[in-house]
Structure 1
Amino acid sequence: MVLKFEDPENFLNPIIPGGFPDPSICRVGDTYYICNSSFEYFPGLPIHESKDLVNWSWVGYGLHRKEQASSAVNLVDVKSEDGIQAPSLRYKDGTFYIITTCVYRPPGTDEGTCTNFIITATNIRGPWSDPHVIEGAPGIDPDIFFDDDGKAWYVGTAAPDKPNYPGEGEIYCHELDLSAFKLVGDRHHLWRGALYGGVFVEGPHMYKHEGSYYLMAAEGGTGVNHAEVIAISDKVTGPFYPNDRNPILTSRNLSYDNWVHSTGHGDLFQLPDGRWYMVCLGVRAEEGKAGMKRSNMGRETHLLPVRWEREPMDWHSLGPSGARLWPVCAPDTGRVERQTALPFKSMQLHACNTFRDTFEGPELHPEWNFRRVPKDGMYTLSPGCLRLNAQPQVIEERVSCSLMGIRQRQSEFTFLTKMTFKPATDGVEAGTSVFQKDDNYVNFVVRLVEGKHRICISLKEREKEERILHDEDLKAYEGTLTFRIESSSHAYHFSYSLDDGGSFTSCAEMEADLLLSYGYTGSYLGLYCTSRGKSSKDYAEYTFIQHSAVLRLPAHQSAAGSA
């Protein structure tokens, strides 16, 4: 049974649960589209759509072909936390644009490159173009701004030529020739930010509202000091003058016990009726025993209302004349709320994500991701079956192995999968994995050891050696097993069934905070098969997976059941 949230007045944040950070949004007609960062994962640049801003469904990915991510944009051997960062999704005259950065650091060095590029499509579902690399564009987190005069502008973030202190950033703009995907004219230095003097300024977005140009950016780092700040100008090329009431959104002034923290990296947008909203990222404080709590899901996409308010008087000697107009985020409370009034009253359901895959289609469902571009022959699909081939690689930095997963959507869930696995090579293993990063995962597998099948659970904690949580003979194993992983009461519970789910044997549990997200992405629930360095023709076959999430609702909020 899966709980769902039903309320005639409110929706529940996050609007897209699971590790979907750095949201960027655009509206085309009555449909809204969100694109998120994907870092080292492939396919990259996930895209969702919605008619009501509350119920979101998959569209697909901007980087959906291996060729898009195997050359100038390198997701083949990319380091953890590098890869695709902070996209901007925009639409103009029948074309969708995604502009973003690929960070790549070659093995053996911390020095890397930031490749800024654009992909385009006339249909949001693709196909998307190959990357158009923007030469001469330093830094990260670019944005495209289309001005009323028909010009397009590249808005980027880079370190200033003469920084005043470590971590200072600077936002700049450059006219962009979209027919050739080249920068033209001079670079214009716009703003170094407001919070802490502009430390770690990033994620800029440019808007034009009632004749003024607005430059919004994230500052303070994507942690508890994260914040959104904004500045105004009469010209796209500046100079820009900051809002005296910056930051316009942050959780750094709230207790570490607040239900969400690290809010920031937002994108503003307007509804057809004139109202404004913002999407931003935030981290739920749901797991951890002491101090600041975190989440297994990491940074997720949230929604909040925005109202424009004019300053009560013209008290500025510099900048645009007159009483300035500024966006006010969440005007009733000033923060991202767990429950917020529905944008559209006719849309009243926000169902918790539940996903079941029986592998009937010719292609994988968009839920599935790989850590880096998968190797050829890693898996095959046939009606009702996914075959995962044993490859020599194991989970480790910069490596692509036979590992694939779907995002954990809530802190509490049940994950089930049925596997047929009859290995011939000693040491080969296959089963499931719950993974955060290459140095933080738990594998729940069947392993062939000296001709005997064993059920094994191993945990890799950050900065610690891998350790065994459970290891026993499967005396009654005949080649088929159902895995069950449950998360409840702040712990992961592992069990298996040898009779097609008729009964389950419990074998281990571990605290959920051993798989907390400390980085840019969140936890995945996946499938794993490895020959551990050996050549092997072994494989595992899976007939279904099911991820049933459970909402942690406030005590006063009722919940309805949904199968």
Structure 2
Amino acid sequence: APSTFSNPVVWQDFADGDIVRVGDVYYYSASTMHHSPGAPILRSYDLVNWEYAGHSVPRLDFDNAAYDMSGGRAYVKGIWASAFNYRPSNSTYYWLGCTEFNRTYVYTASSVGSTWTKRARLNQCYYDAGLLFDNDIPYVAYGNGTISVAQLSSDLTSQVRAQTVYTTPSSIGTLEGARMYKRGNYYYIWLTRPANGQYVLRSTSPWGPYEQRQVLLDLPGPISGGGVPHQGGLVQTQNGDWWYMAFTDAYPGGRMPTLAPITWSGDWPVLTTVNGRWGASYPRPNLPWRPVASMVGTDNFASLGHQWEWNHNPDTSKFSVGSGLRLSTATVTNDLYSARNTLTRRIQGPSSTATVELDYSQMANGDRAGLAMLRDSSAWIGIRKDNGVTRVSMTNGLTMNTSWATTGTGSEAAGAAVSGGRIWLRVNANIQPGSGRTATFSYSTNGTTFTNLGPAFTLNNAWQFFMGYRFGLFNYATTALGGAVTVNQFAMT
């Protein structure tokens, strides 16, 4: 194995991470907002090479039909900074997160890749929660500006006690993104100042009083054009070393997991910097190297792996896998943002290419199917079928406002007649952080010779949608249900 590693350790969108070690295995849990299944889990053995391992929330079962696109939509709701931990006393993994309506849900599993089960709904919001098991007692640190600690019942279904433990001074601004740890005689609450600082609180009691220290502020990050690494959490290796996994804002692609070593001075954590910044590289953790599955490559949809997440909860009667991904139309709409069963995949940075082989022979009149660059400003390449005629189309101008209501359903920027029932669609996406990044669209009728279609699509790099751009596989009806397509292969290079 090489002697150093480079940041970001994962150049895909995995924000608000919580990181834990169980034995000699590391797990990282992240935010997914409106995507389903939610709260993905990555696995690593060396903190550097990661693979998809599971999802803590199999379906967004949050007592709101908008997650099913019924009577509304749930864009940018759902799963944000949440807690993930392992409890040795019962060999159980826990996920805990607040959704809208001031509700907190608890899911559990016996292993990260097994079926997770909803265990509790607490009718209060543990905002940006961090979960600690201390002598098997569950504590949650949470809050925005005003930081509180709650003790939960042993089964995490009710609150035993809660109190405010720290009020952020106005000179700092706001602190949130809590994680809670015990080291030696001290309890620590790890807090972010979005989006450019990290602070830590320390006390000998979970209930305080807490002292505060600044860990970093305005520290240049390792991604050219990206932001200051912050939020995330701490983990101690089996060798006793400590590491901090933050994320770096890197839009239009999203927020990328970024790793650095931590030392301790007088029982305070100190970030190891390189020439006054978060290192673009560091010496590798002193951990054994083990191979993990690649986060890119080719998928023939023998099954639906954890690299995939739907835009909102899918209609499970309208898709199947096994011999390709079969997508039957699930929604009659002229708005991709309101169509169910769009299957999404994170884009690999700093740039990558997605190619799909699409069988469109069973499309119905009025159907639209293809490959999208999906965010609050979107474009796609795909097949339009109207009056028995199929054409390949590059469509742009799909937009939402900051309330995530659709403001543009798009129009064709370029198109060409095609026939034969099979086509290859390709998007090359540059998600290096900054403005003016573009994606280009092309197609092939033989799988080898590709023709560019339409203008380059400029990606929106504002942060407010939180999720970065994703590749999206879609099929929706504008006239009537009944049509279908099959994605025989998806390849990301």
| Partners of 1:302 and 1:473 in 2: CA distance | 43
Q: CA deviation at 1:263?
A: 2.1
| Partners of 1:211 and 1:419 in 2: CA distance | 59
2:465 is the counterpart of 1:529: no
CA contact (8 A) 2:379 2:457 kept: no
Q: CA deviation at 1:469?
A: 5.4
Secondary structure in structure 1 of the residue aligned to 2:79: strand
| Partners of 2:295 and 2:326 in 1: CA distance | 25
Q: CA deviation at 1:38?
A: 1.1
In structure 2, relative to structure 1, the CA distance for the partners of 1:391 and 1:124 (3 Å cut) is closer
2:450 is the counterpart of 1:504: yes
CA contact (8 A) 1:55 1:351 kept: no
- 1:544 aligned partner, one-letter code: Q
1:69-468 pair list within 5 angstroms? 69-71=61-63, 75-77=67-69, 78-93=73-88, 94-103=91-100, 113-135=101-123, 137-148=124-135, 150-157=136-143, 169-179=145-155, 181-185=157-161, 187-193=162-168, 196-197=170-171, 199-219=173-193, 221=194, 223=195, 226-243=196-213, 246=214, 248-250=215-217, 252=218, 254=220, 258-284=224-250, 295-310=251-266, 325-333=267-275, 335-344=277-286, 347=289, 353-361=295-303, 364-383=304-323, 385-394=324-333, 399-423=338-362, 425-437=364-376, 440-459=377-396, 460-461=398-399, 463=401, 465-468=408-411
In structure 2, relative to structure 1, the CA distance for the partners of 1:388 and 1:516 (3 Å cut) is farther
Secondary structure in structure 2 of the residue aligned to 1:526: strand
Secondary structure in structure 2 of the residue aligned to 1:118: strand
| Partners of 1:255 and 1:23 in 2: CA distance | 17
Deviation string, structure 1 residues 381-439 (Cα, Å, up to 9, x no partner):
233x21111233448598452311211111311111111113564321211111013xx
1:54 counterpart residue number: 48
CA contact (8 A) 2:366 2:385 kept: yes
Larger Rg belongs to:
1
CA contact (8 A) 1:491 1:509 kept: no
1:491 counterpart residue number: 438
| Partners of 1:73 and 1:12 in 2: CA distance | 42
Q: Count the aligned residue pairs.
A: 477
- 1:101 aligned partner, one-letter code: C
Larger deviation: 201-210 or 49-58? Answer: 201-210
- 1:305 aligned partner, one-letter code: P
| Partners of 1:392 and 1:124 in 2: CA distance | 33
In structure 2, relative to structure 1, the CA distance for the partners of 1:503 and 1:518 (3 Å cut) is same
Deviation string, structure 1 residues 442-483 (Cα, Å, up to 9, x no partner):
1211111333211211112455645545333315x2111111
- 1:535 aligned partner, one-letter code: A
| Partners of 1:57 and 1:42 in 2: CA distance | 18
In structure 2, relative to structure 1, the CA distance for the partners of 1:296 and 1:388 (3 Å cut) is same
Secondary structure in structure 1 of the residue aligned to 2:67: coil
Structure 2 unmatched runs, 5+: 402-406
Larger deviation: 460-469 or 446-455? Answer: 460-469
Larger deviation: 350-359 or 28-37? Answer: 350-359
| Partners of 2:211 and 2:62 in 1: CA distance | 41
CA contact (8 A) 2:347 2:471 kept: yes
Secondary structure in structure 1 of the residue aligned to 2:31: coil
Secondary structure in structure 2 of the residue aligned to 1:75: helix
Q: CA deviation at 1:9?
A: 2.1
2:413 to 449, 470, 485: 470
Identity %: 20
Secondary structure in structure 2 of the residue aligned to 1:377: helix
In structure 2, relative to structure 1, the CA distance for the partners of 1:462 and 1:128 (3 Å cut) is closer
| Partners of 2:463 and 2:84 in 1: CA distance | 26
In structure 2, relative to structure 1, the CA distance for the partners of 1:348 and 1:120 (3 Å cut) is closer
Name the Cα RMSD after superposition.
Answer: 2.7
- 1:122 aligned partner, one-letter code: S
Q: CA deviation at 1:377?
A: 2.1
Q: CA deviation at 1:345?
A: 6.8
| Partners of 1:398 and 1:450 in 2: CA distance | 24
- 2:202 aligned partner, one-letter code: I
- 1:189 aligned partner, one-letter code: T
Q: CA deviation at 1:45?
A: 0.7
CA contact (8 A) 1:433 1:526 kept: yes
| Partners of 1:173 and 1:231 in 2: CA distance | 12
Q: CA deviation at 1:331?
A: 4.1
Deviation string, structure 1 residues 327-360 (Cα, Å, up to 9, x no partner):
0112444543322221137549999742211122
Larger deviation: 254-263 or 457-466? Answer: 254-263
2:481 is the counterpart of 1:542: no
Structure 1 unmatched runs, 5+: 1-6, 104-112, 159-168, 285-294, 311-324, 549-563
In structure 2, relative to structure 1, the CA distance for the partners of 1:28 and 1:349 (3 Å cut) is closer
**Alignment TM-score, normalising by the size of structure 1:** 0.78
| Partners of 1:253 and 1:155 in 2: CA distance | 25
In structure 2, relative to structure 1, the CA distance for the partners of 1:138 and 1:421 (3 Å cut) is closer
Secondary structure in structure 1 of the residue aligned to 2:82: strand
In structure 2, relative to structure 1, the CA distance for the partners of 1:336 and 1:81 (3 Å cut) is farther
